[in-house]
Structure 1
Amino acid sequence: MSLADQVLAVNDDLPIRTDKPVHSGKVRSVYWLTEEDSQRLIKEKGYNVKSDSPLAIMVISDRISAFDCIWHGKGGLKGVPGKGAALNAISNHWFKLFRENGLADSHILDIPHPFVWIVQKAKPVKIEAICRQYITGSMWRSYEKGEREFCGIAVPEGLERDQKLPELLITPSTKGILEGIPGVPAVDDVNITRKNIEDNFAAFNFSSANDIAYYEKLLKEGFDMISAELAKLGQVFVDTKFEFGYVTDAEGKEKLIYMDEVGTPDSSRIWDEAAYRDGNIVENSKEGFRQFLLNHFPDPDILLNKDRMDERFALARDNELPLESLMNLSKVYTEIAEKITGQKIHLSDNPKAEIIEVLREQYDLID
């Protein structure tokens, strides 16, 4: 069994029964179930959703995305061993904690396999809800160039790189291209202010203006909860991205929930606390891999400059990364997941065959 076989790189070719095209993102693929299968599972499994809610199977992969590209390694390695299972395990852990502590539910209804979620269809809020407790990364680069206002929030003079901010900053950006919002360019991932959201709440898919304060509350409470738990493990929660959406429960009540993933090394920066106290940054997140890529290639501007996307895609397509770089990243993902969840991350010999078997035997979803 080679290492490449243990990696689930292609996840949009599973024989899951569906009558819609499979949506394949950078890391996850989504299979929308037929109306019959959705209704059958809601009934059989007792999911707390409306009886006619559309359900989907979401399958994670071990693909590694950075700077909007998918990277691969020598020896035919098309992903990072253990990455998919680690990301799902971490998200599952935080979502469960949020639910148990009365914050909000998530889009996940069931977890048939470490790579698989059964999810309900949500109406997504079109905001990448980013919050920052430390000044680093792109925010530091802008601050260094003299910027003192971020998403409409003024930050003080005299801050130093990687310093803790006086308060948790909410710096949202657009999710997808939104047309016709005054003052908001129609491009993906553009920074927005709270006033932009208040003035155009419906365009961002909020059901009411009051939900803006509620999403901020869930954001802060979620951040604080993960931060407190990570502190117990000697880790610093630096910044993260949350996503939200609306679903309707079995009683017909609409509610705002967490969706996508939370508190993972892909969506967050996590630092080792002891190293940070000594003035060093040790990344327990994907950020270390981004830094590796910036140092690995002679012209890092290709990775940072959005005007050079064609060159960037070519870089990712034409370069096999050293095996060591992907194995180091595997260690980062699996070790932080095991720390957070207290459970071992097992590398499956054949993840695809396992997924097919469980979805056939326990859910009757394989043709």
Structure 2
Amino acid sequence: MSNTIIKTNFNFPGQKSVYKGKVRDVYSLENDRLVMIASDRLSAFDVVMPKGIPYKGQILNQIATKMMGKTSDIVSNWLEATPDPNVAIGKKCEPFKVEMVIRGYMSGHAAREYKAGKRQLCGVALPEGMKENDKFPEPIITPATKAEHGDHDEDISKEDIIKKGIVTEADYKKLEEYTRNLFERGTEIAAKQDLILVDTKYEFGKTPEGEIVLIDEIHTPDSSRYFYKKGYVERQEKGEAQKQLSKEFVRQWLISHGFQGQEGQKVPEMSDEYIESVSERYIELYENITGEKFKKADVSNIEQRIKKNVEDYLHKH
């Protein structure tokens, strides 16, 4: 097994505080700067799995960096530099407490709710007579409130977001506009790779100057679901499962082993072989999404590598 990074404990120059999320650890520095480290932790059903996935952090960080570059004409983003394969450095923003989830197809959570008989999701009416993985007449936005420290994110309607004062009406209008435009761009990027961008989530923040910017990750297999375009129509017509490029394969494996993150359920043991296969799937995701060969970083001492690369960068900038 390759080395993985599942915990970080850095002390960078000018460091003020650390926030540890499900997958990323965010170090706040002086001058409103953030160092975000994409760990190799794997989270599913809002639960962090006990073992790390080799190269996963590098894959997520590098896809997000590429996608930020390809969408910066639509909305500015927080990113300043990526001095290490697992690290992004950028400007500190005040995050909006909602995730903007947009769905082009009836898949995942939406399909599970639909199967349970619900015909409304986050205040959005769902058409009758749809099958799992059918395309919506047009993409729908189904926001979720961001969970504090490991609780489940919860569906919420646009009306409730505005009524509860989570986001102002003017800001929410901007978030919706950016979300639709980013999804359209993501769909075009995916199509060039013979993929379908099924659904995704975007997170936004506000700079101290009041500008809305894109933060966190974008169009990665952790935040998005992709299908292979080839054979999509045939599979739908035959009622077969779609060929996916996303973390869904891990969720399905967990479900088949009796785990959905519910009270009293125990995370099934993941063998080294299974972990290795997940790592290989993530590399496949990277290569399919970006159209580029994945170059494995040196993982002989990831902590030391990150520390050196970040400190060198901060020293020069």
TM-score by length of 2: 0.90
Q: Contact between 1:270 and 1:283, CA under 8 Å: does it hold in 2?
A: yes
Aligned pairs for 1:1-367 (under 5 A) are: 3-5=1-3, 7-11=4-8, 13-33=9-29, 35=30, 38=31, 54-72=32-50, 78-99=51-72, 102-176=73-147, 189-200=153-164, 203-206=165-168, 209-248=169-208, 253-279=209-235, 280-295=241-256, 297=257, 300=258, 302-303=259-260, 305=262, 308=263, 311-312=264-265, 315-316=266-267, 319-341=268-290, 342-349=292-299, 350-364=301-315
Secondary structure at the counterpart of residue 60 of structure 2: helix
Q: Write the deviation string for residues 328-354 of structure 1: whole angstroms up to 9, x where unpaired.
A: 221222222223332523132322221
Call closer, same or farther: CA 1:324–1:274 in 2, change over 3 Å: farther
Deviation at 1:60, TM superposition (A): 1.1
Deviation at 1:145, TM superposition (A): 2.3
Deviation at 1:235, TM superposition (A): 0.9
Call closer, same or farther: CA 1:134–1:16 in 2, change over 3 Å: same
Count of aligned positions = 307
Secondary structure at the counterpart of residue 335 of structure 1: helix
Letter in 2 for 1:292: W
CA distance in 2: counterparts of 1:175 and 1:258, whole angstroms: 15
Q: Write the deviation string for residues 140-191 of structure 1: whole angstroms up to 9, x where unpaired.
A: 12212221111112122111111111110101121236xxxxxxxxx85222
Letter in 2 for 1:272: Y
Letter in 1 for 2:39: S
CA distance in 2: counterparts of 1:176 and 1:335, whole angstroms: 30
More deviation, 283-292/351-360: 351-360
Q: Contact between 1:81 and 1:347, CA under 8 Å: does it hold in 2?
A: no
CA distance in 1: counterparts of 2:275 and 2:191, whole angstroms: 27
Structure number, greater radius of gyration: 1
Match of residue 46 from structure 1: none
Letter in 2 for 1:195: E
CA distance in 1: counterparts of 2:74 and 2:15, whole angstroms: 35
Deviation at 1:204, TM superposition (A): 1.5
CA distance in 2: counterparts of 1:276 and 1:325, whole angstroms: 27
CA distance in 2: counterparts of 1:217 and 1:136, whole angstroms: 22
Unmatched tracts of structure 2, length 5 or more: 236-240
Match of residue 238 from structure 2: none
CA distance in 1: counterparts of 2:186 and 2:44, whole angstroms: 24
Call closer, same or farther: CA 1:151–1:352 in 2, change over 3 Å: same
Secondary structure at the counterpart of residue 131 of structure 1: strand
